[in-house]
Chain A
Amino acid sequence: MTPLALLGVVSSAIFSGTSLLYATLGEIVGERSGVVNLGLEGVLLVSAAAGFAASAASGTPYLGILVAMIAGALMNLILGYLVVSRRANQLASGLALMFFGFGLSAWIGRDYVGAKITGLPRLTLPGLAGLPTLYGSLLRFDPLIYLVLPTAALVWWVLFRTRWGLSLRAVGEAPDTAFAAGRNPGRIRYRALLAGGLLAGLGAAHLSIAYAMNWTEYMTAGRGFIAIALVIFSKWHPLRAIVGALLFSGAVAFQLLLQSSGVQVSPFLLNTVPYLLTLGVLIIWGGRRRNAAPASLGRVYQGAE
């Protein structure tokens, strides 16, 4: 295996893993507050369609990114209304949101199938300008890719080093106790969903505006569910999610490399490895409850008022 081929795998894993990581971070924020969003697939689709449509209509990808983020936040607020304000079942509400996303994204995107947009510019880091062009071209990334690691660090910092994050996690573990301590669980869950929607929107924007640069119906192809699996894999921790996202997207890139070097492995079987690995990791952790899911995850907070 040549260094160039290896670099190619890493580069393509970074490209396809970025949207996954943003979406995973968004889901982590929501789940840490106790709300599981099974409709992430639909949220991503609507954001990707809205962001792409805005880019195509306005000619600027940056407006598209903004619109995608707003769309993600609005979608999550629908979930918030159902599960927080109306105290509906989280799993059923999430699945309903997913089907809503299937429909709405097809509707938004119907005039933009095959449309052309200007994607995000690719930038080379200053220190890497001296590399040979072949290597250099593999290391030219768009701004959203450069921003994803700082974003993960920021999410970690907010969740684990700020008062806001402490409240959020407290609500995710024990909403009644948090309420007794003067927090408002409903409002905190709304805010967590809002932040999570913005992050999911960023991921979707990267998918349709920067990575694929087009819109096709159901283009997320299961990424929402992959992100939900990644949240479990990363034990609800933003920094571990980085490793997870690279591993999941790396498996796809790695199979291309195997094929080019003559090893015949079915891409479909290789695709299943990360999920089976996740399941394996969960089994090894076994019944150990430490570092596991937020205690109130998926439960309806009945409230005390």
Chain B
Amino acid sequence: MSSRDRGRAWPRGLQAALRYVAMAVLALALFAVILLLAGKDPIQAYRDIFTSTLGSAYGLSEVFVTMTPLLLTALAVALPSRLGLINVGGEGQLYLGALFATWGALRFSALPAWLLLPLMIVLGMIGGALWALPAGYLRARGIVNETITTLLLNVVAPSIVAYFVFGFWHSPMDTNKTANFAAAARLPTLGGTRINLSLIFGVVLLALFWYVMARTRWGLEMRAIGGNPGAARRSGIPVARYLVGVMMAAGALAGLAGMAQVSGYYGVLLVNFSRGLGYMGFLVSWLAGGTPLGIVVTSFVVAVILTGGNLLQLTGDVPYAVINILLATTLFVVLARPSLPRRRKVA
């Protein structure tokens, strides 16, 4: 590298930072227009969102709570994307993970926590992995594209959860959710907050993902498959086994997110509890270019927006879903800039 190139590196980084700031301002301005049209004060709304999330210890802790499942569902997209696999099925895999973990929580509720929680984690990961198995197998055999399989199975998964909850597991009070889990089936939380242990799982697994991709033979072979599957096959890499295995690993990660939601966040299994966590993970991973650090940063930003929306609902008498507009305008602005620095093609 010549000295001139090194001299330009910093201004280029600055340029990129400025670009991100400009995009954020544009997204906020778009949402402000919508707020103005509805007769709300956008400045006040943004001040409220800021103070309710980053401005207090409690708000910040809630941001981490919202961020937790996104780390895992985004990783469930980023990992297979390194092989050129497009996993849109995080949503369904998450539901199956929650279902399997709940079965463990209800069936073995008498076990102590140190035994029950690992069991639920394993069950959740098995559930997600099994739900991803058809997609990986059919893709490896060249029968059906994994995008199509995962999309179809996404629609099936909530129905299966509903079948078990309405049919067998519902509590005497409510038909659409199970009874509260035993204390031993709840992931431990941090201090007085709702942050649970699965935040650590997410961070550790992201670090592991980086290590595997960058430092191990598996990572090398996976990158080879992602680069050129034909060449990888000819050089003796078991491509089909990788496609199935990685798809199942991705499913296991999304399943772990499902387990964490029912065990850590809700403490019950609720019908239709996710409504888009898996799809959000896809967007986070895509925006982050599938990199571990990018996933952490992007999920944090998304979580700030989503958490701020809770407050908007309380003070601004608007439906909670409206915060999706701010989220989507942010996404639109980012998507509309094709030449982002360090972007890697996920799909």
| B325 contacts A217, C-beta separation under 8 Å | no
User: Which of B144, B318, B328, B346 touches A100 (beta carbons < 8 Å)?
Assistant: B328
A269 contacts across to B, CB distance below 8 A: 159-160, 163
| A89 contacts B347, C-beta separation under 8 Å | yes
User: Which of A95, A107, A222, A232 touches B283 (beta carbons < 8 Å)?
Assistant: A95
B160 contacts across to A, CB distance below 8 A: 268-269, 272
A278 contacts across to B, CB distance below 8 A: 152
Closest to B336 in A: A86
How far in angstroms is the closest Cβ of chain B from A74? 14
User: Which of B88, B151, B287, B331 touches A229 (beta carbons < 8 Å)?
Assistant: B151
A276 in the interface (beta carbon within 8 A)? yes
| B324 contacts A103, C-beta separation under 8 Å | yes
B163 contacts across to A, CB distance below 8 A: 266, 268-269
* CB-contacts of B293-347 with A (<8 A): 318-329, 331-332, 335-338, 345-347
How far is B151's CA from A95's CA once the two chains are assembled, in angstroms? Answer: 12
B190 in the interface (beta carbon within 8 A)? no
B276 contacts across to A, CB distance below 8 A: 98-99, 102
User: Which of A96, A266, A268, A279 touches B144 (beta carbons < 8 Å)?
Assistant: A279
| A279 contacts B149, C-beta separation under 8 Å | yes
Per-position binary interface string of chain A over residues 221-243, scored 1 when its CB falls under 8 Å from any chain B CB and 0 otherwise: 01001101100100000000000
| B323 contacts A103, C-beta separation under 8 Å | yes
| A283 contacts B325, C-beta separation under 8 Å | no
B245 in the interface (beta carbon within 8 A)? no
User: Which of A92, A110, A225, A283 touches B155 (beta carbons < 8 Å)?
Assistant: A225
A286 in the interface (beta carbon within 8 A)? yes
Closest to B144 in A: A282
| A279 contacts B134, C-beta separation under 8 Å | yes
Interface residues in B, total, Cβ within 8 A: 54
Closest to B343 in A: A89
How far is B147's CA from A86's CA once the two chains are assembled, in angstroms? Answer: 23
| B282 contacts A275, C-beta separation under 8 Å | no
| B325 contacts A95, C-beta separation under 8 Å | no
A89 contacts across to B, CB distance below 8 A: 286, 335, 345-347
How far is B159's CA from A93's CA once the two chains are assembled, in angstroms? Answer: 27
B66 in the interface (beta carbon within 8 A)? no
How far in angstroms is the closest Cβ of chain A from B38? 7
Q: Is the interface of B mostly helix, strand, loop or mixed?
A: helix
User: Which of A99, A229, A286, A298 touches B328 (beta carbons < 8 Å)?
Assistant: A99
B166 in the interface (beta carbon within 8 A)? yes
B70 in the interface (beta carbon within 8 A)? no
B337 contacts across to A, CB distance below 8 A: 86
| B159 contacts A100, C-beta separation under 8 Å | no
How far is B86's CA from A279's CA once the two chains are assembled, in angstroms? Answer: 17
A87 in the interface (beta carbon within 8 A)? yes
Closest to B335 in A: A88
A57 contacts across to B, CB distance below 8 A: none
| A106 contacts B321, C-beta separation under 8 Å | yes
* CB-contacts of B141-180 with A (<8 A): 142-145, 147-149, 151-156, 159-160, 162-163, 166-167
Do A99 and B138 form a contact, CB below 8 Å, given A268-B163, A283-B144, A286-B143?
A: no
Do A229 and B279 form a contact, CB below 8 Å, given A86-B335, A92-B335, A103-B322?
A: no
A97 in the interface (beta carbon within 8 A)? yes
How far is B282's CA from A298's CA once the two chains are assembled, in angstroms? Answer: 16
Closest to A89 in B: B347
| A96 contacts B156, C-beta separation under 8 Å | no
A162 in the interface (beta carbon within 8 A)? no
A81 in the interface (beta carbon within 8 A)? yes
> Which of B148, B152, B325 is most buried by chain A, counting CB atoms within 10 A of its CB?
B152
How far in angstroms is the closest Cβ of chain B from A46? 11
| A92 contacts B319, C-beta separation under 8 Å | no
Give 13 new A-B contacts, CB below 8 A, not counting A99-B283, A298-B347: A89-B286, A89-B347, A91-B147, A99-B276, A103-B327, A104-B324, A217-B319, A229-B152, A229-B155, A269-B160, A278-B152, A279-B153, A283-B143
Which residues does A use to contact B, with CB under 8 Å? 38, 78, 81-82, 86-93, 95-100, 102-107, 110, 217-218, 222, 225-226, 228-229, 232, 266, 268-269, 271-272, 275-276, 278-279, 282-283, 286-287, 293, 298
Top 4 A-B pairs, shortest CB-CB distance = A103-B324, A100-B328, A103-B325, A106-B321
Sample of 19 A–B contacts (CB below 8 Å): A86-B335, A86-B338, A91-B347, A99-B283, A100-B331, A102-B276, A102-B321, A103-B326, A103-B328, A107-B318, A217-B319, A218-B321, A225-B154, A266-B163, A272-B159, A279-B134, A282-B148, A286-B143, A293-B145
